[in-house]
Structure 1
Amino acid sequence: MPSSAATNSAPSSNKLEATRLDESTQSLKSDDDPQLGLFNQVYDWLQHEKTRRMTRKARQAEATAANSIAVAEREPRPPAQDHPSESTFSLDKLEHILLQFAGPRNLHGLASHRLPRLPVRRRPKGLRRGSASESDYTDVEAPVPNVEAVLDNTKTLAYSSSIAADNDTTSENSIKRSKDLEAWMVFKREIVRLVHTLQLRGWRKMPMEKSDEIEVVRLSGAMTNAIYVVSPPKHFYNLNQKAENGSSTLVAKKPPPKLLLRIYGPQVDHLIDRENELSILRRLGRKNIGPRVLGTFSNGRFEEYFEARPLTFKELRIPETAKQIAKRMRELHDGIELLEEEREGGPMIFKNWDKWVDRCEQATTWLDKELESPQNELKSATEPWRRRGYVCGVPWAAFRKAVDHYRTWLIASCGGIEQIKRELVFAHNDTQYGNLLRMEPATQSPLLLPANEHKQLVVIDFEYSSANVAGHEFANHFTEWCYNYHDEERPWACQNRFYPTPEDQRRFVMTYLTHRPSVTGGVVSPLSTPAMRGGTGSAITPLTLDDCTEASNQQTEKSIEDDLEAEVTRLMHQTRLWRVLNSAQWVAWGIVQAKVPGMEEGIAEMNAASSDASPENGHDDKTPTAKSPTPVDTEAEEEEEFDYLAYAQDRALFFWSDLLALKLINPDDLPPPMVEHIQKRVVDY
């Protein structure tokens, strides 16, 4: 083991020089002065370089001591003379120059400034004992900080920060505005309290009294959660307690990074396994795919914020953008290896249906009974869903039977469940335009190169990600071409005319198949391309150059083209088949998300009646009891624009139209008005 002298071998003169430099610059503070900016950069580099070299010398001394026993029997080489190296002398000389520059006579009016001393922080192999927070470091293997706390946003759902900040006391709604503003300020303070508890990097040093100055903006378009961008105060200062005259001064500091705050929706317990989602996010984090999770709490989490904008409804249909999405989709499918249990578990779409169907059956059964009740016509004046008829187009029992039969038929058509398992990939399963961000690179960024343009796209929101076949991923994405969730009148409507044409689909699938991700050592960044793996069933063998004749080369090229064309045709057919079940899945999703007055109480009464009617007067384990309704602010609920029940009903028509087009049901099996409506909007490709 090295002696203490070996680990603290810096000359005492260096310590004296550093002390003098600290004393002479004690009154400096950061501002926009170019001289001071240069001074800070050189000084920080100097301290970093000196510390690095001292550490390297200490390690060398330790290694020498550790090896001394092994070489004791050999004649040792004469030790080197302990003279400062030329590079060390140069650093000392540079420090002396800085000392002269920092002298009071040479600062030319900068004597009132204080030089910020930043400690040199090295990335540890693991979290060091006594470290303030796991989130201080970018080591993706480190555990994400978690706190058992609930962030209540129910009183802020009806407005954004800009509305809440409008303190117009002359308005007729001044009392409500005052109430809203107070609720918004409480929400901000709770956010700051939460980031303090999680000790998120940069944010933990922000005083609580500054919480009113943070900016919190709710993003629109999130379907399952409430999403906010949390920005620090525009002018971020820390209080300096070490001024020479004993007074405190404000020192400008680098503001903390923006945060993405995600608060889970009230109904998502029926939809999403949060533990599994966080496990997937950790796997993605190891590949640097998607935003990093910074901290979690009981009903939400904080994530890394990307300087990017979501795509728009129209951008999905731009051919070049569609190609870029296809490339990123291929990189995701090949970049994340499925776990053995994921592949053995089969397609996630089957799991989702099996997980949601009981809750969906409870809700839809009650809705169907309400539609058939004598009071329906009277209540329909204030409840529009009652005027639209059955949510699934037909009674629930008929819809569920059709889904079950189609699932059996689909498995047989795809070669059996084992063949389906072999074709599974890690899929996103929710590639709607709001989950696709376009990075906004700075000038001269490599992302601006034509070959890298597709890497500007970043996929977010992996809540539904898991194993599925590529055809299902295509079907889900192509169907999202039909939805404009920002439509002012009907954001829930499926606009079938926008479904990609066969030519659009072929171009997308061809781009997916011919895109060859480059090898990057097994690590993927949001802006890079992951290593390509086999096993997806969709790879095309590349053409190799050898000494074959020209005729042989032409034959090989023809064979590759034929294989590629066959694979495109196969995947397009697979997409067509999985689109039906994809629609059924989102019908169930919409029903589970729906909030209808009296529904929770009605489900509870049905379950109680069913339990009382049971021969054993017991509970049927196959039918879970309804959870108590989640409290929702009534004013916020009135402001909610998206009609989940209308979405489910409209998507059910897509399901039935596909079954009719595939001739798997007869038109006589459906109500004539519904068949007539379907025939006007059928997508038979």
Structure 2
Amino acid sequence: MGQTSLEALSGQVSNPSPRQGPEDSGSSQPHHHRLDHMGERLISQVAEWLEHERTKKQQRKTRRVYSHKRKSPPAEPERERGRPEEPGEPSAVEQLTRHHRRYSIDSQSSDVSLDRLQRIIDDSMNALGLNSIPHYRPGMGRKSHKKRAHHLHRTASSDTEYHDGDVRVPSCDAVLDNSKTMSYSGGKSGEGADGTSVSSRKVDKEREDWIKFKNDVLRIAHTLRIKGWRRVPLDTGDTIDIERLSGALTNAVYVVTPPQELLNNTEGGKKAPAKLLLRVYGPQVENIIDRDNELNVLKRLSRKKIGPRMLGTFENGRFEQFFNAITLTPAHLREPETSKQIAKRMRELHDGIELLEEEKDGGPAVFKNWDHWLDNTAKVVTYLDRKGRSGGLGPIRGPADAWKERGLICGVEWAKFEQALDKYRKYLDDYYAGHKNLRDQLVFAHNDTQYGNILRIRPDDEKSPLMSPQNEHKQLIVIDFEYAAANMRGHEFANHFTEWTYNYHNVTAPYACNTSRYPTLEEQRRFIKAYVEHRPQFPHAGSTPNLTPHDTPLGTPGLGATTPGSSSIVDFMLDARIPPGGYKDDEKRREEQVEQRIKELLEETRLWRTANSAQWVAWGIMQAKVPGLEQKDGPPEDAEAKGSQPAAIVSPEEQPGGADEFDYLAYAHERALLFWGDCVKMGVVKMEELPEELRGKIKLIEY
């Protein structure tokens, strides 16, 4: 659950740095910028020619060696076999002889010339502040472009969004350490993150760490060649603004703003480097999130213009496009119009991204996650269960110890929880009667549509297309695709509806699941009806794998596939036949079909809510800090003897004494209570089979 809270920050203007030439950020460019641009282009063209000449030279050398090894020249080397020589045309032997003689004469001088030219290119690159061959090859075919990129091993730049039809994202192997920085921003002199007074020595140390962090951010932005940011000189991190955004559970998220003096400089029509969204991954979070898969997903989304554009990645984080937007709140989810807009955007995501065959074969990602996380989850829970049974748990010093008051994390011992989930999975297998029926209904799902992952863009222009009623829902964008994968529509709805019950900004219990806030049946119907009736409009035919641009909103009962319907071209023909029974009967049939589909999806949502809860139970357990438990190797019994460090996944903002400590084990416990409530309602387990203490605590949702 990557939660972010984006607040709009404004301002856009920039100055070139003394060393780095400014980049192309608008139609109006200063004279020295045009010169730098032309210089980079010239270097690119000369480097391409140089590589071409060296390749030809190597080929000539190879042919020369080959001809020496043969007793006679190969027949017809330059001419199609069987074609007679034209009158006056040199023979094949004469061609080879002339070529060999010319190569021998020019070989030594060409070596010197090419080496000298290479030195000229290197010197010119240093003068322009370039660390790699720039990319300027308009008019070149794709084949030669790809060949050139292979020869030069060019590092991609964020200035280049696509290459050979695919998204190119620059990357580097830098690691950004944010563990010592103060919360959110640089802080105020004499005050800590909580407003309490601190010693001047501590303030100075925190300020020093903060400036170092900002300089590291700037250095990585330079390395990735993020557009415009090379204008900000290195080691001037104290001039840029970095604001930590609250609420992130998996990542630490920041807004990076260029120096104020550049924002205020509007002379010459120059644009400032754009603000950036910086995301720093929690340490060891790869145990939960497959970052390679996430980046591949983001590239697939970029092809469809969905979500923020990635600008560059490094070892433990990435830079993204920053939107002038606000993050939704729990109250927004309950607004009828906002809820319908979310449903429309969800439909566009499900229908706009085609699943790969291997994703379909792998089945619902909710169970793939569970199976992948199972070993680590079991290790943590069995350790805590054993500690609970042994007694003598010690004092409660903070969120990391609060589990001692609640008892068993899952309400029962881990083995019983796992047995209940296995019974539930067997229930699903019987319900769908085979993998194929399930496979055919999978869609590309976000899987974490909580309010903090949904932004509303604030258009700068009142005449923006986003302001028109038909496009108003497109003001909403979804971020954080860390868990995006193949899942059922019902699972996506269940996840979203369950997120209605949370307020992660609650001061006393941000982990609590308040089932009274779960959407009512009418609110669920309103959401799903908007989803079913929405007809996504896609800009390109190839962008709609699941639907035609005006396809029917209905699906085959029990399946997710669509069928030809109301928006056939026949509907727009003046001489089209009147449907049997007239238009009123036809409209009535369509309404009945819509109602039937809503009913099916409501049932599917209830069915998959249990799986969704189980997944987040495991997630919360893996995120928790568990002192005394070794994370990866060795049985739990060995952990205390070895005196290992805190286990599981510890985000930088969750370090002891951090301002945003979140009780992950409490979150897992609350989710487990919801899991048991759904198991009882489904009949997977009987109430009397549960421990008496658990019976009074389970969370039941009646609809």
Q: Distance in 2 between matches of 1:390 and 1:161?
A: 38
Q: Distance in 2 between matches of 1:676 and 1:391?
A: 15
Q: How far did residue 420 of structure 1 move?
A: 0.7
Partner residue in 2 for 1:423: 441
Cα RMSD (Å): 3.5
Q: Does 1:682 align with 2:700?
A: yes
Q: How far did residue 404 of structure 1 move?
A: 1.1
600, 609, 619: which is aligned to 2:630?
600
Q: Distance in 1 between matches of 2:190 and 2:565?
A: 61
Q: Does 1:438 align with 2:456?
A: yes
Partner residue in 2 for 1:539: 562
Partner residue in 2 for 1:103: none
Partner residue in 1 for 2:203: 177
Partner residue in 2 for 1:306: 323
Partner residue in 2 for 1:591: 621
Q: Does 1:449 align with 2:468?
A: yes
168, 189, 201: which is aligned to 1:143?
168
Partner residue in 2 for 1:159: 183
Q: Distance in 1 between matches of 2:632 and 2:314?
A: 32
Does the Cα contact within 8 Å between 1:331 and 1:532 map onto a contact in 2?
no
Q: Distance in 2 between matches of 1:133 and 1:120?
A: 9
Partner residue in 1 for 2:82: none
Partner residue in 2 for 1:16: none
Q: Which amino acid aligns with 2:489?
A: A
Partner residue in 1 for 2:405: 387
526, 546, 560: which is aligned to 2:590?
560
Partner residue in 1 for 2:686: 666
Does the Cα contact within 8 Å between 1:513 and 1:539 map onto a contact in 2?
no
Q: How far did residue 349 of structure 1 move?
A: 0.6
> For residues 436 and 633 of structure 1, do their structure 2 counterparts lie closer, same or farther at Cα, with a shift above 3 Å needed?
closer
Could you say what secondary structure the match of 1:537 adopts? coil
Q: Distance in 1 between matches of 2:315 and 2:352?
A: 30
Q: How do residues 157-556 of structure 1 correspond to structure 2 at under 5 angstroms?
A: 158-163=182-187, 171-236=197-262, 253-376=270-393, 378-380=394-396, 383-442=401-460, 443-522=462-541, 531=549, 537=560, 539=562, 541-543=564-566, 545=571, 546-548=576-578, 551-556=581-586
Question: Cα deviation per residue 1:37-80 (whole Å; 9 max; x = unaligned)?
Answer: xxx96999xx99xx9xxxxxxxxxxxxxxxxxxxxxxxxxxxxx
Deviates most, 265-274 or 574-583: 265-274
Q: How far did residue 555 of structure 1 move?
A: 3.3
Could you say what secondary structure the match of 1:455 adopts? helix
Does the Cα contact within 8 Å between 2:190 and 2:198 map onto a contact in 1?
no
> For residues 603 and 673 of structure 1, do their structure 2 counterparts lie closer, same or farther at Cα, with a shift above 3 Å needed?
farther
Q: Distance in 2 between matches of 1:225 and 1:531?
A: 37
Q: Distance in 2 between matches of 1:42 and 1:676?
A: 70
Which structure has the higher relative contact order (CA within 8 Å, separation 6+)? 2
Could you say what secondary structure the match of 2:320 adopts? strand
Partner residue in 1 for 2:5: none
Q: Distance in 2 between matches of 1:362 and 1:417?
A: 30
Could you say what secondary structure the match of 2:158 adopts? helix
Q: Which amino acid aligns with 2:678?
A: D
Q: Which amino acid aligns with 1:480?
A: E
Could you say what secondary structure the match of 1:230 adopts? strand
Does the Cα contact within 8 Å between 1:195 and 1:203 map onto a contact in 2?
yes
Q: Which amino acid aligns with 2:209?
A: A
Q: Which runs of 5+ in 1 are unaligned?
A: 1-28, 30-39, 52-118, 240-249, 610-625
> For residues 400 and 170 of structure 1, do their structure 2 counterparts lie closer, same or farther at Cα, with a shift above 3 Å needed?
closer
> For residues 147 and 661 of structure 1, do their structure 2 counterparts lie closer, same or farther at Cα, with a shift above 3 Å needed?
same
Q: How far did residue 539 of structure 1 move?
A: 3.3
Q: How far did residue 236 of structure 1 move?
A: 1.9
Q: Distance in 2 between matches of 1:298 and 1:637?
A: 26
Does the Cα contact within 8 Å between 1:513 and 1:540 map onto a contact in 2?
no
Does the Cα contact within 8 Å between 2:156 and 2:169 map onto a contact in 1?
no
Which 4+ stretches in 1 moved above 3 angstroms?
40-44, 119-133, 164-172, 250-253, 378-382, 522-525, 529-536, 538-542, 552-555, 601-605, 626-638
Question: Cα deviation per residue 1:318-362 (whole Å; 9 max; x = unaligned)?
Answer: 110000000000000000011111111111111000001111000
Q: How do residues 54-133 of structure 1 correspond to structure 2 at under 5 angstroms?
A: 133=156
Partner residue in 2 for 1:578: 608
> For residues 208 and 410 of structure 1, do their structure 2 counterparts lie closer, same or farther at Cα, with a shift above 3 Å needed?
same
Q: Which amino acid aligns with 1:139?
A: Y
Q: Which runs of 5+ in 2 are unaligned?
A: 1-15, 17-26, 39-133, 640-645
Q: How far did residue 176 of structure 1 move?
A: 1.8
Does the Cα contact within 8 Å between 1:267 and 1:593 map onto a contact in 2?
no
> For residues 231 and 531 of structure 1, do their structure 2 counterparts lie closer, same or farther at Cα, with a shift above 3 Å needed?
farther
Question: Cα deviation per residue 1:127-164 (whole Å; 9 max; x = unaligned)?
Answer: 887878521123262532111121000112x5121515
Q: Distance in 2 between matches of 1:369 and 1:170?
A: 39
> For residues 644 and 530 of structure 1, do their structure 2 counterparts lie closer, same or farther at Cα, with a shift above 3 Å needed?
farther
Q: Distance in 1 between matches of 2:291 and 2:447?
A: 16
Q: Distance in 2 between matches of 1:479 and 1:42?
A: 51
Q: How far did residue 563 of structure 1 move?
A: 1.8
Q: Distance in 2 between matches of 1:429 and 1:533?
A: 25
Q: Which amino acid aligns with 1:386?
A: K
Could you say what secondary structure the match of 1:323 adopts? helix
> For residues 533 and 235 of structure 1, do their structure 2 counterparts lie closer, same or farther at Cα, with a shift above 3 Å needed?
farther
Deviates most, 410-419 or 487-496: 410-419
Q: Distance in 1 between matches of 2:340 and 2:654?
A: 44
Could you say what secondary structure the match of 1:263 adopts? strand
Does the Cα contact within 8 Å between 2:343 and 2:531 map onto a contact in 1?
yes
Deviates most, 571-580 or 134-143: 134-143
Q: TM-score, normalised by structure 1?
A: 0.73
Q: TM-score, normalised by structure 2?
A: 0.71
> For residues 266 and 132 of structure 1, do their structure 2 counterparts lie closer, same or farther at Cα, with a shift above 3 Å needed?
closer
Q: How far did residue 513 of structure 1 move?
A: 0.7
Q: Which amino acid aligns with 1:193?
A: R
Q: Distance in 2 between matches of 1:421 and 1:598?
A: 42
> For residues 329 and 42 of structure 1, do their structure 2 counterparts lie closer, same or farther at Cα, with a shift above 3 Å needed?
closer
Q: Distance in 2 between matches of 1:364 and 1:629?
A: 14
Partner residue in 1 for 2:96: none
